[in-house]
Structure 1
């Protein structure tokens, strides 16, 4: 017999296992909502990216002061401002995603974002030196204290000009040290005329609380507030706090004396206080974390060209079926984890590399017009960019840097940055290889596996999906065709080939950026236009994309042709039935022997609207009824539903209604892939649910 301690241990173990399972079930819905939140600002980026790229090409090829110059600059800035404010856009989007699109939560998130950054601004200051620690080396190589204390006055200092033979304007040459001995040892630090510590590019260092030597690149203007450059991370956390405060307090009733602040008025007040600890957490940790991310970005960039891109795509593509790939690539695209222009300059200390950069830069740009010399030095170019092009200098993240370079290609381009080891586009350009030709050829291979007598009837399905992939880079119609039929095709064939596409693109240094997907439209905007418009990249960089696509085309075709054929994958039309239309709800219910007496929702709208309402009603039924549904949401291509019990969801029934490429059930999280129709289904499901729950409540009364 088991003793009491053994029984107690087993109970504790069972409780722990049950708790872990419960946590696991909640993770997927949470991450799913987060991924959906990311899609809201991402949906804005395509048009912003087009405006930025086209505007830069027009303005850079027009004379200053002309109509075309101003028109191009207008387009450029319209696009640029969206990328410059991604943190607050993510903040708002996260708040919306977790509060069923509440406008109050969105406004509260902005308040929280301002408060968090305002606190940092109040405590942030530049690193300054004490006058008594400043020493300067004279022309005879002797060291001399720059400032001398005024006799009898503790807080007043004067400059000992008698022993100096150059002026205050040369103060950048001075060395700051705590003693003359340290200065003589060459361990001093350069300062500017304001007695602030500066780096090799002349940018000041900052201090925050007890943390000194914070690089200038980790400080930026967040919607007008000079604070830590936390990228999208801080915005995500503030948005989550705002959503939590809204969900918990938006219907709170306060005592009558302060009842004015009840309900939604209470939410921003609570959020105002709630973000204070978050602001301090970022102040304590971010300077170290930010420098760590910068180090990661630099280290990953030193891997053999293409290896970092391959590793990235293995992880990114493996998350696509779960809709979580947006969460993965966000830091690499929009924070210094994906690289930093300022860091690339600062880490370039080899004199030979510096000279190569200066020579190439002088060849690519108007050195005389920009610097007044035909033979510029590395330090001069670095100071020019860090002083006069601060947005470009402080840009970080693979996509952000690409867009900033395109917008400022007259002063810095991709060819210049290649010399510094910054392979911009390494986490983006690989998609063009399999989106332009790879997956369309996979579609052709699947179609050729359809019996000849059925090919004509299914040609439209495969052609439209392939052309959509080629033109826009939207892969889901093709990907999900084989993902839900044979997952091994996705992970065993598609993912390795996509990773090879990234490997080759990284190897050839193809710097072509993109909005969200690598279709032909993005290739024109971010490849052909920057190349022909302002020579922002080399011919090899832009046209190697087509070479990679040419390699991927036969690789995808033959891989999928034989995999589908010998793997006996029943792609649409291959089952021998010439009628490839999905079954109707009546066909499905008749085959299942289910009751077809549907509840009618009366309305005076058109028959097409009635059909949409009816479809939404049936989806609710196949999800287990209104009692089983907790939440309904949608992203770019999927209907995302949280249910109480995922085991009662009828996936085949949902797919039989038509329009869905597949469905994924993970615990209480259900994702139905539509590719566009979900935006019409979501509001109608919410409407039907409201009617059903109201009717149920009235019946109970």
Structure 2
């Protein structure tokens, strides 16, 4: 039962990443639009300000309609086949829900009267695509996405004979969903206010817990990375009212990320909302892991230092600049699990420290994002110099703590193993760069895909293929025949097996890997 629950949670975590993968792009462009439309930077009026407002107006509807985006993304991510049809049915189902829920509130006299949208704040109702409905935030989209996927996977291949054939397959899925969605539109009218009270209590508890709450958030967000369940920690804090809610210029924003972006676009904001404390888990990516890498180098065998340096430098650069940490973290996760616990504890501690110091930055990824979001906002609103100062302290502490533990327990971290540390040559680097950019020759793609699939037990052993930011995620029939060593020969930095799920860590080039594997499997 435990494995089944974990398996389902991992499936959901994989699916939720489908829409989330696109949101950093939206955020960066919105940050750019905020710079261009900020009068303190470009003046009170002019061409640049109009361009900034134009760009922002085009992108903001994505952030204010995340519920339907999650509905479509999750339905598509959980669908085992015919994913395009699942996405379309998700849109249909979402619209059916909005219309039905609005009508039920009207019929029962529960519809709150308002003059402007801001009047609905705190009433438990909101406007969604022009419909006044029960305010469920992104949870509505998540729930409907899961429901659509379950029905889709069960009925999408069901056929009827004769004249009824028109109503089979994915059309049957929608037919079955209509009464289910109608019932949910009624049920949520009564159940969700109670759930909302619980969510509000949870948010209040976390906020009341202060630094301890932030520590637990940071610790779990890091500690659960090997399982892939960390997405279930940071996502609701970033995009739902668990992470906070705030009215800005008459518009209600839910989640720490949305609140930060809205404040970034409003020059009248003097100090950013405390909800930004849930966006500062990138410190360890820019500082802490640099200290860990220096400790690996310092404690490595003299004959391995030159080779280890060539491996660590690109991994450190990737972590600092874009926040991809797996190439570094998976170098010690499997050989020294105790270090992973220490790593997670230190991460949580430093997130709590910057929260106590009143720092309110966007620091979820690397320095590129950090500069794009925080420099335009200014020091007064974010206190970003304090973040950097604390980060430098974190770097030093990571170095000495890791160095001490590695020597004390003789941990076989990179450069201390008896086996040879492989040197990454210029040729290797160019080949990896080509793979990441999709420029590998077709024959090499085919060879790579064949090797990966064979290492996973062959085509018949693979049930499904997905990916997140850095990992190829697969559901396998027989996990015992998966060859970890062969997978690592394809460039993987780690392999995680749990139940019938396998996660193969490839880093930023995982999208290219996913494409060649899908092509080889005929997906």
TM superposition score normalised by structure 2? 0.89
Change (3 A) 1:75 1:686: closer
Quick one: distance in 2 between partners of 1:407 and 1:456? 47
- Correspondence for 2:487 among 650, 654, 658: 654
Change (3 A) 1:447 1:240: same
Query: Is residue 2:144 matched to residue 1:238?
Result: yes
Q: CA deviation at 1:446?
A: 0.7
Q: CA deviation at 1:669?
A: 1.0
- Any conservation in 2 of the 1:245–1:271 contact (CA below 8 Å)? yes
Query: Is residue 2:24 matched to residue 1:46?
Result: yes
Partner of 1:495: 344
Quick one: distance in 1 between partners of 2:192 and 2:198? 9
Partner of 2:78: 98
Change (3 A) 1:63 1:611: closer
Partner of 1:615: 448
Partner of 1:67: 47
Q: Which residues in structure 2 correspond to 1:318-397 (within 5 Å)?
A: 318-341=223-246, 389-391=249-251, 394-397=252-255
- Correspondence for 1:531 among 355, 374, 378: 378
Q: CA deviation at 1:619?
A: 2.6
Partner of 2:156: 250
Q: CA deviation at 1:296?
A: 2.9
- Correspondence for 2:367 among 491, 505, 520: 520
Quick one: distance in 2 between partners of 1:88 and 1:320? 27
Quick one: distance in 2 between partners of 1:64 and 1:577? 63
Change (3 A) 1:520 1:690: closer
Change (3 A) 1:203 1:454: closer
Q: CA deviation at 1:447?
A: 1.6
Q: CA deviation at 1:462?
A: 0.4
Quick one: distance in 2 between partners of 1:108 and 1:565? 57
Partner of 1:507: 356
Change (3 A) 1:563 1:66: same
Q: Which residues in structure 2 correspond to 1:94-493 (within 5 Å)?
A: 94-100=74-80, 102-124=83-105, 204=119, 216=122, 218-304=124-210, 306-341=211-246, 389-391=249-251, 394-410=252-268, 412-414=269-271, 423-429=274-280, 431-491=281-341, 493=342
**For 2:416, what is the secondary structure of its paired residue?**
coil
Quick one: distance in 1 between partners of 2:485 and 2:411? 18
Quick one: distance in 2 between partners of 1:450 and 1:31? 38
- Any conservation in 2 of the 1:249–1:263 contact (CA below 8 Å)? yes
Partner of 2:436: none
Partner of 2:432: none
RMSD: 2.8
- Any conservation in 1 of the 2:75–2:146 contact (CA below 8 Å)? yes
Quick one: distance in 2 between partners of 1:196 and 1:84? 22
Q: Which has the higher helix share?
A: 2
Q: CA deviation at 1:241?
A: 1.9
**For 1:414, what is the secondary structure of its paired residue?**
coil
Q: CA deviation at 1:293?
A: 1.7
Structure 2 spans left out of the alignment, 5+ residues: 425-438
CA deviation profile, 1:477-524 (whole Å, cap 9, x unmatched):
111111122111111x2011101111111101211124xx33111221
Quick one: distance in 2 between partners of 1:271 and 1:627? 32
Query: Is residue 2:498 matched to residue 1:638?
Result: no
Quick one: distance in 1 between partners of 2:471 and 2:244? 32
Q: Which residues in structure 2 correspond to 1:592-607 (within 5 Å)?
A: none
Partner of 2:385: 543
Change (3 A) 1:676 1:197: closer
Change (3 A) 1:608 1:581: farther
Partner of 2:513: 681
Q: CA deviation at 1:51?
A: 1.7
CA deviation profile, 1:665-693 (whole Å, cap 9, x unmatched):
111111111113433333443444459xx
CA deviation profile, 1:28-71 (whole Å, cap 9, x unmatched):
33222221222222221212111222212321214555212211
Q: CA deviation at 1:281?
A: 2.7
Quick one: distance in 2 between partners of 1:267 and 1:690? 25
Structure 1 spans left out of the alignment, 5+ residues: 1-19, 130-194, 206-214, 343-384, 418-422, 583-605, 692-701
Q: CA deviation at 1:443?
A: 0.9
**For 1:482, what is the secondary structure of its paired residue?**
coil
CA deviation profile, 1:180-217 (whole Å, cap 9, x unmatched):
xxxxxxxxxxxxxxx9699xx99656xxxxxxxxx545
Change (3 A) 1:202 1:242: closer
CA deviation profile, 1:434-464 (whole Å, cap 9, x unmatched):
2221111211211222223322222121011
CA deviation profile, 1:74-127 (whole Å, cap 9, x unmatched):
232333222112111111111111224611100100111111122121133599
- Any conservation in 1 of the 2:461–2:477 contact (CA below 8 Å)? yes
- Correspondence for 1:628 among 431, 439, 461: 461
Q: CA deviation at 1:544?
A: 1.2
Quick one: distance in 2 between partners of 1:76 and 1:690? 39
Quick one: distance in 1 between partners of 2:176 and 2:77? 19
Q: CA deviation at 1:329?
A: 2.1
Change (3 A) 1:262 1:486: same
Change (3 A) 1:574 1:203: closer
